[in-house]
Amino acid sequence: MHRRIGRSQDQAYPLTHDLLEKLLKVYGRDVSVTRDWVLLKLGYKTMRRRSELCSMRFEDVDVNPKGQPFILLNFSKTDQFGTGTVIPISDDLFELITRWQKKIGVQSGYILRSVNKGGRVGESLHPSSVTRLLQDLQDQAFGFRRDMPDLGGHSFRVGAALDMISQG
């Protein structure tokens, strides 16, 4: 029926740079805050889907011969054969990922990981957890009574794209 008569798609609420800065001001002492900062910056700056973010690994982060940090995306929705895509990242994101890696004491494996209430770090973060984490950060930053819709998995892509359009 939808193919025949069509239907409108709901647009994800954009996580723009201004909103990103407000969410990054959510402070705490536990290890999950650092993970959340990595999630926010990695999602916004790379414009990746939830599943792509959760599949990024520490061993895929490197620096090219010119000194520019990058991350290798080995597989994506648009790269079903896994040929890979090199995504340049900023120096500050590279340093944040390196700090996160040292904080959790691992050499390899998934960058984004689950953190339980006791602060124990798991092996990986499931893509379905990204939306819940974004909404939890939203609640912490703005309280439960806020005048914006919930953030979701595509909010990174929509917000960063809108910011690029506004910058010409």
The fraction of the chain above a pLDDT of 70, given in percent, is: 91
Please check whether residue 3 lies inside any domain of the structure. Answer: no
**Helix/strand/coil for 62:** strand
Segment 129-138 mean pLDDT: 92
Q: How confident is the model at residue 101 (pLDDT cuts 50, 70, 90)?
A: very high
Q: What is the CATH number of the domain that holds 32?
A: 1.10.443.10
Write down the pLDDT at residue 5: 72
Q: Which residues pair with 63 in a beta bridge?
A: 69
Rounded-to-integer distance, Cα 142 and Cα 92, Å = 26
Write down the pLDDT at residue 29: 66
**Helix/strand/coil for 110:** strand
* pTM passes above 0.85: yes
- Out of 45-59, 69-83, 153-167, pick the least confident: 69-83
Q: How confident is the model at residue 77 (pLDDT cuts 50, 70, 90)?
A: confident
Rounded-to-integer distance, Cα 95 and Cα 60, Å = 14
- Out of 10-14, 96-100, 149-153, pick the least confident: 10-14
Provide the token pair at 43.
């999602």
Segment 33-37 mean pLDDT: 92
Please check whether residue 2 lies inside any domain of the structure. Answer: no
Number of compact structural domains in the chain: 1
- Residue for token pair 């990024």: 56
Please check whether residue 62 lies inside any domain of the structure. Answer: yes
Write down the pLDDT at residue 147: 78
Residue 142: domain span:
11-166
- Residue for token pair 């819709």: 149
Residue 163 confidence (pLDDT) above 90: yes
Please check whether residue 5 lies inside any domain of the structure. Answer: no
